[in-house]
Structure 1
Amino acid sequence: MTSKSNDTGVLVTGGTGFIAQHCILVLLNEGYRVRTTVRSLTREAEVRENLGRGGAEPGDRLSFVAADLCSDEGWTEAAAGCAYVIHGASPTPTGTQASEEDWIRPAVDGNLRVLRAARDAGARRVVLTSAFGAICAGHGPMTRPFNETDWSDLTSTNVWPYQKSKTLSERAAWDFIAREGRGLELSAINPVTVLGPVLGADYSHSIRLIKNMLDGQPGNPKINSGFVDVRDVADLHLRAMTHEAASGERFLAIAGESMWLADVAKVLKARMGPAAGKVSTRVLPNWLVRLGALRDPALRGSLPLLGLNLNATGEKAMRRLGWSPRPREEAIVATAESLMRLSGS
């Protein structure tokens, strides 16, 4: 913690999340009072321990409220007295039987609950953690990088329930601001694959991408993705929260150009030495990935992405908000190094 201090309160929803915890670290470092929501207060100790790994000992400058996106309970208390809200919480249904509605309804309703609570509490602005999935899905091959004017095409048959939920929930948020916001401002951050220092053992899907490589997965599907460091995503949330030019705008968060997964593996091999001894740089043929998807439901969602270039540009955030993300290679290496620290290796 720095010696900075002020009385401005910020609500960060979903305090157990990877991006949310790094947002909390940035806010505490800037001297804000932070309140965060968790579905169960039993996870407060875990969140505080993770923040300690990130270098923060917030004491009473961080408080917790129990609130669930699927229920109205707790949100009035959570938003009370907060000038800003960073809304990163997103329900993730579990199990192979989760329906599309299980993804979409909680995401849409959850966004609206948070926005209503922020508006009614007199907050100035909400920064919504959306996703690249609200931008890139259903388009097929692109001849230019994706940007903030793009929205996922939900008429396509190649849109996953996650991408559909992110698209519809962000659309619902903008519609709410237009119709019922009563002066509440909104900005949206749309990150690509988020890597960087892991603070705890509750990995996100993005982190498992690197973990699986380090653990020796036999090769890499021909999948392309943009990458960005979570510390830069948190910095962009802070800029979107306070910068006048951010109101009413979306911002894509990506560092440099996108990469094929095999090239990510090559970065690990080149930069991590013996620690990357199990990493394979092999590109798996598409037919083999399709065959594997017949047995592994987790692979099925990646099939529409095989061979697609998903390049995007973060130029808008750099130009308008002065954002300057670290190189994508640093994010890849920082992820691997933090995973090794957590495992004690």
Structure 2
Amino acid sequence: MKRLIMCSAMALTLAGCGGGGDGAEAGDEAGAAGRTLSGNASAEEVAEATRGNVSCPPRIATQRPAGAPVDDVVGVRPGMSWDEAANVVQCDNPMLVVTENSSRKYRIETHGAKIRHGFDAKFAEARVEKTGQEIVREMQRNAMRRANNAYEAPLQPGQTRYYVGTMGLPGQERVISVAREEYYPEGQSPTVASVEQALIAKYGTPTSQADNGPRRSLSWKYDPTGRLVTETSPLYHSCSLNPSPDSGTSLSPDCGVTVAADIRRSTDNPGLAHSLAVASQNGAAGYAAIENTEQALARADQERQASELQQADQGAARPKL
């Protein structure tokens, strides 16, 4: 099975992680509204400055085709434009800030074109000016934590984060995958059973469901024609998807819509849900988007070279021999 893969930790065969760091942290630069923060600022002030004009409820032109499987995650679905998805994500919570992620990339030949492979959405953090010594101490603490493989939770109770993968010609990028994780507020955890029931009410009968230690996992798999994959299908053990926003994506032309969910149990009471992660992608559509983008960029580069050759023939100076 031919696949295209994106990862966030190591390079893989056909596609993988590009160089460079993560997208800018919230508050590091002026937001869409054009405000530049200076000095200390609260998380709310950072969010307001960085988010710019967000229209809620969002107006979405890209609709799910009639009869197609439910494939959105809190309104974000494959096929949406970059701007549509960013607007929907920021309508989820007024503290969410979208930043392009420049480190997670599909390995394709862009011929020098700048395309956006995806964005993160995280809660804005307070901006605190630090002295040089404070910055050094913080760097040392972070280095020590990484050296000791110390776990650091990606969210605080009540927070949410996204990773949205995109592909397309510059300025025309569209969503090919979306992953969302939410930590429930302290004292407001729903039961694992109620979260599972809500997932099934939205996405329908799962292809598979299982208990994996502290997690309750469910998945919905469809072939490219929109038929639900069952245990008798050759795709039953394929088309897998990890719902964490940190996980890579594997795209195959043999797979249609795939939705995956992990309900993490509370350590104090396994009947309560600590958090929920849900991801969605369309393997065949995403694979086609990557191939079509690469081919279009190759054609544009060939046309550029041909144009330069024509101009050279018409106006270039003759060589001195």
Would you say same fold, with TM above 0.5? no
Larger C-alpha radius of gyration, 1 or 2? Answer: 2
- Which has a greater percent of helix? 1
TM-score normalised by length of structure 2 = 0.28
TM-score normalised by length of structure 1 = 0.27
- Which has a greater percent of strand? 2
